[in-house]
């Protein structure tokens, strides 16, 4: 995530190492979440989406909520899973009314966290609880939505962290997202080292996803890659298009509408699908769906944080 300086449109990272959770803090937050009362009644289904046995893009559009219950400043951290599912249905509705593309909701759940401490393996990352993933998958399905597993790899790698998530990704309604800001290499420190990802790394992950799709006879998977500057995704023209994988470059700019629109247009990828992030508490003001759909190119994927 980044912040746009309104006057100069310069960019700055939004998180520092001392703002990231430790392994112990994540464990404690996970225990509190899992000890909470059972979920409230299920949300209404979203009648405007695409069936789970079909490709979501290019015919449809995705509206997603980002975060994790351990991350209190994110949408998924501020609301219970069932409340987030209800909110996702409500947030998706204007896009269905304003455009003829069917809208599918999604949870972009952080499933590998960049951490303040290295941990026993010194990889500066921690894994989401399988119980938490199961809860969000159940709530996503109750809302006819999808689940997206987000990777912040720290000193590990995206391809290595995909392995433990393979069983989840083998489900027809579970996708993957990559957060290059937290991909800091073997000697970097999350929050101090500004990460990025190469086209080669993205292609390795997309090849693995394509293999999973073929092996399990699945509909195409979404592969969302977050970006906020040119260096977020290096060599983007070399990202390969593969059968069974729909690559989305998602723009994570924070700030006022005009700089956000300019940054999005600068980093849009004509050969791939394009996404745009909106921040409920940090954008000034939050763009309305009508303004979002007026962006050029029109976004295929919208992520509310």
Cα(17)–Cα(282) distance, rounded to whole angstroms? 20
Average pLDDT, whole number, for the chain? 90
Calpha distance 227→179 (Å, rounded): 8
**Reported pTM:** 0.92
Comparing CA positions, the residue from 173, 148, 143 lying closest to residue 81 is 143
36 domain-assigned: no
Instruction: Write out the H or E segment, with its range, that includes residue 106.
Output: strand 103-114
pLDDT 10s digits, 47-73? 556 666 688 999 999 999 999 999 999
CA distance 133 to 168: 9
Whether 26 is in a domain gets the answer no
Cβ 209 vs Cβ 221: under 8 Å: yes
Report the helix count and the strand count for the chain, using DSSP H and E: 9, 13
Report the percent of the chain where pLDDT is more than 90. 83
Does residue 6 belong to any structural domain of this protein? no
Where does the pLDDT of residue 111 fall: very low under 50, low under 70, confident under 90, or very high at 90 and above? very high
36 pLDDT tier (thresholds 50, 70, 90) = confident
Structure tokens, 57: 């893009």
Angle at 304 between CA 300 and CA 305, to 5 degrees: 140
Confidence band, pLDDT 50/70/90 cuts, at residue 8: very low
End-to-end CA distance of the chain: 10
Query: Do 23 and 119 contact (CB within 8 A), yes or no?
Result: yes
* 279 within some domain: yes
pLDDT tens sequence across 136-174: 999 999 999 999 999 999 999 999 999 999 999 999 999
| pLDDT score of 45 | 58
CA distance 244 to 238: 18
37 lies in a domain?
no
Q: Is residue 214, in this structure, part of any structural domain at all?
A: yes
What's the rounded Cα separation, in Å, for the pair 305 and 224? 15
DSSP letter (8 states) at residue 18: G
Residue 44 domain flag: no
Host domain of residue 168? 50-304
Give the tens place of pLDDT for each residue, 163-212: 999 999 999 999 999 999 999 999 999 999 999 999 999 999 999 999 99
CATH of the domain at 220: 3.20.20
Range scoring the smallest mean pLDDT among 50-54, 195-199, 213-217, 297-301: 50-54
C-alpha pair distances (Å), 127 with each of 48, 164, 286: 33, 9, 31
237-251 pLDDT, tens digit per residue, is: 999 989 999 999 999
Question: Is 27 within a domain?
Answer: no
Query: Does residue 218 surpass a pLDDT of 80?
Result: yes
- Look at the chain and report how many structural domains it folds into: 1
């Amino acid at each position: 995530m980044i912040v746009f300086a309104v006057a100069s449109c310069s960019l700055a990272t939004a998180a520092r190492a001392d703002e990231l959770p430790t392994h112990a803090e994540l464990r404690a937050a996970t225990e509190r979440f899992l000890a909470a009362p059972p979920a409230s009644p299920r949300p209404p289904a979203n009648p405007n989406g695409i069936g789970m046995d079909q490709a979501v893009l290019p015919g449809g559009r995705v509206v997603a909520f980002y975060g994790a219950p351990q991350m209190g400043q994110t949408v998924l951290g501020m609301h219970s899973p069932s409340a987030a599912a209800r909110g996702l249905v409500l947030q998706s509705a204007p896009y269905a009314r304003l455009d003829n593309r069917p809208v599918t909701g999604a949870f972009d759940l952080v499933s590998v966290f960049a951490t303040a401490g290295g941990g026993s393996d010194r990889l500066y990352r921690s894994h989401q609880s399988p119980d938490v993933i199961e809860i969000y998958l159940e709530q996503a399905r109750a809302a006819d939505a999808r689940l997206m597993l987000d990777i912040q790899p720290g000193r590990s790698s995206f391809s290595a962290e995909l392995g433990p998530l393979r069983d989840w990704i083998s489900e027809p309604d579970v996708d993957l997202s990559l957060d290059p800001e937290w991909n800091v290499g073997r000697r970097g420190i999350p929050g101090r080292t500004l990460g990025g990802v190469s086209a080669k790394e993205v292609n390795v992950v997309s090849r693995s996803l394509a293999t999973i799709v073929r092996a399990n006879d699945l509909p195409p998977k979404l592969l969302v890659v977050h970006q906020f500057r040119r260096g977020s995704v290096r060599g983007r023209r070399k990202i390969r298009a593969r059968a069974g994988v729909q690559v989305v470059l998602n723009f994570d700019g924070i700030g006022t509408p005009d700089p956000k629109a300019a940054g999005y247009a600068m980093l849009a990828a004509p050969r791939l699908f394009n996404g745009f992030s909106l921040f409920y508490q940090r954008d000034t003001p939050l763009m309305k769906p009508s303004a979002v759909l007026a962006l050029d190119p029109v976004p295929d994927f919208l992520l509310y944080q």
